[in-house]
Amino acid sequence: MSAIDDFLAMLAAERGAARNTLLAYGRDLHQAEGMVDGSLAQATPAQLARLGQGWSSLAPSTLARKISALRQFYGFLVDEGEREDDPTHALPRPATRRPLPKILSHAQVEALFARAEDEASGERPEAVRLLAMLELLYGSGLRATELVSLPLSAVPRDEPFLTVTGKGGQARLVPVSTRAKKALSRWLAVRPSDTKWLFPSRTSHLSRIRLYQMLKELAVRADLPPEKLSPHVLRHAFATHLLEGGADLRALQTLLGHADIATTQIYTHVDAARLVKLVNERHPLARARRSD
């Protein structure tokens, strides 16, 4: 096995890296090896500096991912005693700004659910399925992959929780609202019984692509811009609206399945308006000014 293969095997075994992460890192490292014209494991700082020049036209987020892969790779080699030095100081340091998540207003969410509930009122299986998925995306904050790959066994009979397998194969319990539980019960009553998947397709489970398509189509029928709706936007809305309602950031981290709370902190921007209002209404000086 090459040093790159050894590194990827370590990521999978010791860190539980997701398949998509392994594929992306593998592509980045093999591409870098082709650009240094030799063994990436033996590359010099000068060779890595040329990588930065070759990647100068990339988007900041893409460049940051490639540099992260290289830093972890060389850190692995140093830890394993394959190198005595870490040459990544020669790589550029892109200043990336994490984009703020797209969010839906409460009115937009209400319009979306009103349409979905109206369509499901006739108990047509496809409409009932869409309502159940919508309830879980917005009511429990599931990722698209987590939702479509749910096995039937993830739905408990009595407890208001789902057992979800998230990134890196990490399992967590996700609370299911009363609304979502009712929608799931309706779906279970009409769902095909000869499959292990909660949301089956013809041969396996529903695909992420089909889920995206269904949500875009629902947005059009609800008179909402389709580009504003996706599974991830509903997950963002779940987090945003919970924070607005006073949810604790640590609790939100657990609900979303974030390994690092820094990932969850991206949602704190949505609370800015509420905090300003709180200061204006509750601060002693604000009350004094009103008295004057």
Q: What is the spatial distance between Cα 217 and Cα 221, in angstroms, rounded to a whole number?
A: 6
Is 235 considered catalytic here? Answer: yes
List 83, 182, 241, 258, catalytic entry: 258
Annotation says 205 is catalytic: no
Q: Residue 200, SS3?
A: strand
Catalytic one among 65, 143, 205, 236?
143
Active-site option among 50, 83, 102, 167 = 167
Q: Is 37 left (phi over 0), alpha (psi -120 to 50) or beta?
A: left
Catalytic: which of 182, 228, 232, 241?
Answer: 232
Task: Let me know if 221 is a catalytic residue.
Answer: no
Decide if 136 contacts 176 (C-beta within 8 A): yes
CA distance 155 to 161: 7
The C-alpha atoms of residue 140 and residue 176 are separated, in whole angstroms, by 6
Torsions phi, psi for 176 (to 5 deg): -115, 125
Spatial distance between the Cα atoms of 187 and 133, rounded to a whole number of angstroms: 10
- Whose CA is closest to 47, among 87, 7, 92, 75? 87
How far is residue 271 CA from its own chain's centroid? 20
Active site residue 274: no
CA dist 179 and 185 (Å) reads 10
Size of the chain in residues: 292
Q: Which residue has 């992306």 as its token pair?
A: 24
Catalytic residue list contains 143: yes
Q: 262 is written with which tokens? A: 């820094």
Catalytic residue among 65, 115, 235, 236: 235
DSSP state for residue 99 in the 8-state scheme: P
The single residue of 25, 74, 138, 267 carrying the catalytic annotation is 267
Q: Contact at 8 Å (CB) between 42 and 4? A: no
Residue 66: active-site member: no
Active site members: 143, 167, 232, 235, 258, 267
